[in-house]
A and B are shown apart, each in its own frame.
Chain A
């Protein structure tokens, strides 16, 4: 639809961002201590324009860690909820400069936390959805693949069809703005004086630029998420135990892959006392206090129920109350993770691949088993199996 595509002069974008910074919380990429970070900015001039992506994923704005879910205190030995227990007011956030891989990840997270991808809308996650509803996403299409970028393999970019309110593409002159939602249309109405209908040439230039990025990626990058082979091997359970045991031998269980993954949603919920309370949680006991500490459950003090980022690769994450480990070895936990990332069963269930190709796991993994390496190993297994069969 032509009214969903606009052309924006370069200085007009800055004027819009300056305006948004005055009226909303505008969060955009900035450079801090040499790192690219998404931070609140006061003006467009503070925004870093020369960046690939941040290592800290923008999902932190929707799943902050730790996140306070509710607060309570003890009165007469009984826990009493502070306030009505609901989250704070909805907060307006405009996220500018977020990349397609992260937008695609956010779409996945939204399907998960709305209960949609599980078929259980009644289990919708209030805090996440409140944050998501309060956020406006102005994504910017990448024009140069970074060293660990692999979105091209995963339909995670460089440009998307949905998930954004505005998708901006830098052109030789000005920007192409693609409007993806009703909120995006409202924004276009608000800034109508600065927008001009986009001509065919602008749309053609965007298409050409995206094509060039894809071509550059295939020509110059050696990293791939090998989705076909990996999908086949994981979905059909064709990877031998030794394959997973080898990954388990490598993984040092740092947790990093899930902490930075745009689609990973694993979390822990813990009741945590206020700073200086002397015990971690309200239950007391040796599990809660330092070893040898007090074992009586406290009957006073202030507590928070926190949500903390977590990772299904961690032994403590899979440990059941009572001490059973359904996935005892690290290799078994690797299987779970990569099955969730790459198998057709999960694509069917969640509507998209569990990887958007952001490449962050390839950066943070201490054991060198980012998703590119693991999918390459899966391809080797597939080829090896075929070779052996022939």
Chain B
């Protein structure tokens, strides 16, 4: 009896919450290195278990059947989804998981609104935070779904806009959602207000992400992640739940840091990315240079590429989204093993925004068992292109574009790039001469040092590997 009283003591539950968020923080700090990261993630998962346990102990909790039903549905959907997703599809999976989190926030706010008659008896700050959570959660849910659709290629990756009016329409939508929110905070409990708020926020979420091009997805996903975190923290304040406040805020902070890092890596401001439309606007035809001279591209064969690399001292591989699309990471690993067996030093140079989410390339290469030490971040890699014989660019484009350094009127001018053109020679694996996601021509391809090997990245890499074996 005493034990039971103790277990249901609100202070005891608070202590469990404190343990839970300590485990989150301790676990996340494990993510600073590959050796401690697995354990760190599991520690954070244990923290979640403790937080759930604390919640189950809340005195007078009922509706157990429905609670278990919800948990069971979520588990039944979540486990197979997480188990079966391919590593190349990771960005869209993360977008989807993020979206449902935001959706949960919005739904809780809606249900609370209905339950309490618009927070009739609560102090004013409660509806303020609930309204914030509802708007941000709803934007995050719909925005993430659109991001998922684009990454999964259900929707076209290119920007979809309604033209110049886009920003103005978005502002009106935001204002409308906030106006509904203000009316709710002011004490109205009209059901339509909350539905209106959610609908406006939903359209806003769609409109914000639809115009954003595929190459900007790393920024969008981390921004939406931050949004969901902040909305969870706001729910925590409204419900006076410490675990939610701390966990939500940590995610908000981390998402904000990541978003800034990604934006810096593209030398673009977050507002300009959100304003969207980047890519598709600039369309440069493939063949002719700006000064009117015909630019020529030298193409090569797998056999020549193999010989070139086999006799190199140092080869740097620059992977991009093309490698992910072609699922070429295992073939690439095979290739590097062969080169290493021939005494060639091989490294990978990874641009922070290569792929469709932060660190996307690293995950794929790790899946293919490429040693962690071989993966070089941009600054380290750039110091070493000078002593590199061959740079092998696999499905990367904009992150190698020298215009970012040289051409002040280029849309990507100022973006830090991998200086592959400093190496003695460059081999570019590419499907065709189409420009990258940013729609910008890449002078690297016309550089006399550069040879192009056209075709599917995986096919080309496998062909080179076969040729290497035959050497």
Instruction: State yes or no: do A and B come from one complex.
Output: no
Residues of B within 8 A of A (CB): none
